[in-house]
Amino acid sequence: MITDKKILGKLKKIEARYTPYCFQVVDQLSVEYAETREHFRTLPPASTGLDWKPAKPGTHWGGAWITGWFRGRLKLPSICRRQQVFVRARTGGGESLFLVDGEHRGVFDGNHPVVMMTASGSTARTYEIAVEAHAGHPCIGTQPDDHNSSDFQCTFAGIDILLQRRDVTAFVFDLKVLLSLIDALDENSLRRSQVLARLADLYALVDAMPNETPEESWRPKLASARQLMRPLLEAKNGDTTPQMGIVGHSHIDTAWLWTLDETWRKCARTFSSILNLMEQYPEFLFLQSAPCHADIVRREYPGIYRRIRKMVAEGRWEPNGGMWVEPDCNIPSGESFVRQFLLGQQATREMFGYTSDAFWQPDVFGYSAALPQIMRGCGVDFFLTTKIAWNDTTRFPYDTFWWKGIDGTAVLAHFNKIHCWPDPQTLNDQFCDLQNKDVEDRRLSAFGFGDGGGGPQYEMLEVARRVADLEGAPRAAYTTISDFMKSIRDERGDQLPDFVGELYLELHRGTLTSIAGVKKGNRKAEIALRDAEFLWSLVALQGRRYPAGKLRDLWKQLLINQFHDILPGSSIPEVND
């Protein structure tokens, strides 16, 4: 039978209609709330004097820079016994931190509406639930004609206790991956036609409108639908297939449309979310690139830090980025670049017993030709970025190459991808975007939501489980960036081209001149620290104690302020001022 040309659109509607049924509400949590401008690292104690009030659906709260805390006590219903239990917090805020019995368990935001509360529910105890919700704040001043008329008033809608319908979830993601595969393949592809024909049979098998059909009718049919899809998902690629290295990541701007204080909370939300997902998906690997962020979490959220250390020891959390923060790479002095690596490497070794071999800089506005020499001098062999692909006029000629600096020192460079899903269409598009496939047979895809953090969502991890070797899509395997770059060096290194000199970004040129006072202050601080170290060295020769700790702290503060949205002047006024 010839396949209906409209079937693909109908199948996508099936996926969309069944997705809300992946979870079922089994209870509602009664909570009270309080508002504050202070940032607490855990549920505020009674000594803070906050005014706690009952929160009902429809309760209004918020305002610019306001945090709403919601708390409640939960006894799980019997249906939750020994089950994975999830929570959906509809506070109305933009980003929220979830706590269970004082432990930070993840983030609620537009990309992460559901978070696992416990892997095995107990009906014999009471859980202490808390949510720290940020109402939002103005983001004015980073773009021409910026305006923000919101009053950041939020409306609380409720906190739901959920169980996952595993059969529905499996059906939805099986179908999602195959639909993505269809979108990735050429219309003349035999594989595409065969998948589409079988999915047309699926359309005839399942109920098209689950919201209009009793669950006892539509749900049993999903098992047969999955049986139909299984051979399509089990079909493997041949020998000549592109390779994609995948790793979870969340780019967190140390400041940009938010202040440093808000970034520390973003780190807690993101990192606790990653740790929660690692409990559910043991194959999941994550890259965390800025030692500064890990150090802040160590100080402000020690419980999260201890769990990160455990994951690093297991090889599942890669603390690999090289520099203290991801700084602007045009304006700082050479000495500042050296200190970024020096303090970054020292911190990573101290916290995790790990030495970075990669310079991870996805979002910086161009790269000085002095960097390869400095990198190699600091024991860093690999460079990864995405930003040069943003050029507004000239496409850079290579995606993987040997980058040579002023003195001829070379490091292996790779233009990876971030802010994405690991689905067949995305992976295929990312590989097709490579320019020199005669020598480039692989690409790194760092999936997850970023800029403001958040990271991967469980949906991405479900997709990743289905694309390891799926006929018609690139092979996708979890990797660390260190292992990925070593594989290129060892297997393709002698075939790659050279590029000599600055990596100039044909975009964001105003970052070299914007907010000149910040740039002047940076240079004066660099000179002052050089002079202070020189003079204290002279004094130390006379027997005085050299203030190494104090000077190190001053350097760390300066290095944070060289972050690539602070020093360039591309942040909101609360940061620039």
Concatenate the DSSP letters of all residues of 90-111 into one string: E-S-SEEEEEETTEEEEEEBTT
337-363 per-residue burial string, b: 16 or more CB within 10 A, e: under 16: bebbbbbbbebbeebbebbbbbbbbbb
Is residue 480 within 8 A of residue 287, CB to CB? The reply is: yes
Alpha-carbon distance values, 192 to 3, 135, 182, 227, 241 (Å) = 12, 45, 5, 19, 17
What is the C-alpha separation between 421 and 455, in angstroms, rounded? 11
363 catalytic per annotation: yes
Which positions ≥6 away from 121 have C-beta within 8 Å? 76, 80, 81, 82, 83, 84, 85
What is the C-alpha separation between 253 and 304, in angstroms, rounded? 19
User: Closest Cα to residue 245, out of 83, 486, 572, 511?
Assistant: 486
Write the Ramachandran bin of 62: left for phi over 0, alpha for psi from -120 to 50, otherwise beta. Answer: left
Is residue 358 within 8 A of residue 398, CB to CB? The reply is: no
What is the C-alpha separation between 429 and 474, in angstroms, rounded? 10
Is residue 407 within 8 A of residue 373, CB to CB? The reply is: yes
* Marked catalytic residue, from 363, 381, 399, 423: 363
Which 8-state DSSP code applies to residue 411?
Answer: E
For the purposes of burial, counting CB atoms within 10 Å of the CB of 563, is it exposed (0-12), middle (13-18) or buried (19 or more)? buried
Q: Which residues are catalytic?
A: 363
